[in-house]
A and B are shown apart, each in its own frame.
Chain A
Amino acid sequence: MDITRKDVEHIATLSMLNLNEEEIEGYTKDLQNIVSFAEQIQEVNTENVAESAFALDAYNVFRKDEVKESFNRDLLMQNAPSSNGVQYQLPPVIVD
């Protein structure tokens, strides 16, 4: 599968990333390498292997429905680039 600069631009738009010319070129090459590497897996014969969604043979990892104490808000807000101490602050976006 070929990765084009159009693919990179599209993914960048979806991810809200602002890439310059140089970065677009770099990421196109990097992504192509990653995809080509992953394509090797396609060559493995999986005829008699059951389909699975997960690499490990693990399932049903559950948690009981018991309330735990939440985090200190002041600590959470320390990670916010901008906050009013109570909520995260953003430039205006459509609120519905």
Chain B
Amino acid sequence: MEYEVIIGLEVHAELSTKTKIYCGCTTEFGGDPNTHCCPVCTGMPGALPVLNEKVVEYAVKAGLATDCKITKNSKQDRKNYFYPDTPRAYQISQFDLPLCVGGGFDITLKDGSTKHIGITRIHIEDDAGKLNHDSYTGGTLVDLNRAGVPLIEIVSEPDMRSAEEAVAYVEKLKGILEYIGVSDCKMQEGSLRADVNLSLRPVGQEKFGTRTETKNLNSFRAIEHSINYEIQRQKEVLEAGGEIFQETRRWDELEGKGFVMRSKEDADDYRYFPEPDLMPIKLTDEYIANIKENLPELPEVRKQRYIQELNLPEYDAGIITTSKALSDFFEDASKECGNPKAVSNWIMTDIIRIARENDIDYKDLPFTAKRFASLIKLIDSGTISNSIGKKVFEEMISENKEPDEIVKEKGLMQISDESAIKEVVDRIVAANPQSIADYKAGKDRALGFLVGQCMKELKGKGNPQIINKLVLEHLQ
């Protein structure tokens, strides 16, 4: 049977405020265990939370940037559950009056098509602490430095139909949050993580199938792999006549496998009630309008600017602007070398490849925009050829050196001296009479062979246009 895949995502993003959501402890990542803690975030009886005003501002920013409506009369609620990473035995979240509701944005897919993904709601809540395995006693250790770090949870509509769409959605969302500066979105540090709700239904059926939830995916790879695994797993169960259970699952990226954590019916009873320790949040039209006016340039606007002013292809402009770090890199390098088209071409091929291969974020590229721009300048000025440029690019990374330094040290300067090249061309052509005959017999490949031989003789440093011209002169 043919199945349709239904995917909805819950994305948690840690907000980049200086302090926690309800106390003045720092939100800095890492730190000695339990040193960013106080009676409020460790859940001491009687300690009272006070809401950080920046948390409201950042959540409203995120809502406006994703086309949500802002709730003017909002409140926080207690979500009761017992787990050792949550010292109060409840999380403070939002139940029926989240700060933002009903937004969404378009994602761009590999085939160039676009699709609208809806956002159901964005609400604020506090993060939990971290449980660590104690290899000494075999027990569990609790570090509460992260407990109380502010989060927004962004809940999508079940609008996605494949791993590709889910990844494109998270990439775009991450880009938006980075642009507006409300989260650093470092997935490897857990400051952006996704829960995937997934179900299958026979094509043509309207009613959704039973869904599972895979929690805490913290890389694009993990999102993609876990979705494909879960689609396959559910398909096999259904095809064997089995039943899908509503359950929470965990994904192990190293093993490439998903596991059941708990079945939902035991746990899904959070007994929400309005948080009595915190007052409601009332937002005025002026407050919301002021935040809206001060939003920075969003990816969609940048994309249009690249297409119209810099003549980039729509697909390239879409990819580059998805990440703020990559887009900033593009702008800085283009300004420095004056050749945005070349920078964009390198990004679309080698720079994206480097980031994927090493699984690094674009803000952690192993070279600066300035260094990269000087490579482009060497190529544009004719000092090195494009193919030597690719080699210098690799060495610029592996040896962490300036491109012109590498070119000088290794003597990679392009040979554009026509008489020097002519000497080599004459010799190669004289040694390959068969190729000349082949070319005259209509075999165009012979030209490529001769040019290649000359380039080899010149150790890749010959100016390709000049070699080409001189070889052709011989042939005609």
Contact = CB atoms under 8 A, between A and B. Distances in A.
A90 B36 contact: no
Contacts of B138: 92
A40 interface: no
Given A54-B274, A90-B140, A73 B280 contact: no
B419 interface: no
A62 to B, nearest CB: 4
Given A53-B274, A54-B280, A61-B278, A88 B82 contact: no
B146 to A, nearest CB: 13
A93 B131 contact: yes
Nearest to A13: B266
Contact of B25 (A54, A70, A90): A70
Contact of B34 (A16, A64, A73): A73
Interface in B27-46: 32-39, 42, 44
A76 B34 contact: yes
Interface stretch (B50-58, B102-110, B327-335, B345-353): B50-58
Contacts of B53: 62-65
**Which label, helix, strand, loop or mixed, suits the secondary structure of the A interface?**
loop
Contacts of B35: 70, 73
A41 interface: no
Interface in A5-47: 10, 13-16
Contact of B37 (A58, A70, A84): A70
A68 B40 CA distance: 12
Interface string A48-71: 000011101011111111111111
B430 interface: no
Interface in B62-101: 75, 80-84, 89, 97
B37 A76 contact: yes
A87 B80 contact: no
B18 interface: yes
A60 B141 contact: no
Interface residues of A, number: 39
A15 B82 contact: yes
Contacts of A93: 83-84, 131, 140
Contacts of A76: 34, 37, 42
A2 interface: no
B90 to A, nearest CB: 11
A71 B19 contact: no
B193 to A, nearest CB: 11
B39 A71 contact: yes
A90 B133 CA distance: 10
B26 A67 contact: yes
Contacts of B197: none
B338 interface: no
Given A14-B80, A15-B89, A71-B39, 15 more contacts: A52-B280, A58-B279, A59-B279, A60-B281, A66-B18, A66-B19, A68-B19, A73-B34, A76-B42, A79-B42, A86-B34, A89-B139, A92-B140, A96-B216, A96-B250
**Top 4 closest pairs, chain A to chain B, by CB:** A68-B24, A62-B53, A87-B141, A88-B142
Interface of A: 10, 13-16, 52-54, 56, 58-71, 73, 76-77, 79, 84, 86-96
Interface of B: 17-19, 23-26, 32-39, 42, 44, 50-54, 56, 75, 80-84, 89, 97, 131-134, 137-144, 215-216, 250, 261, 266, 269, 271, 274, 276, 278-282
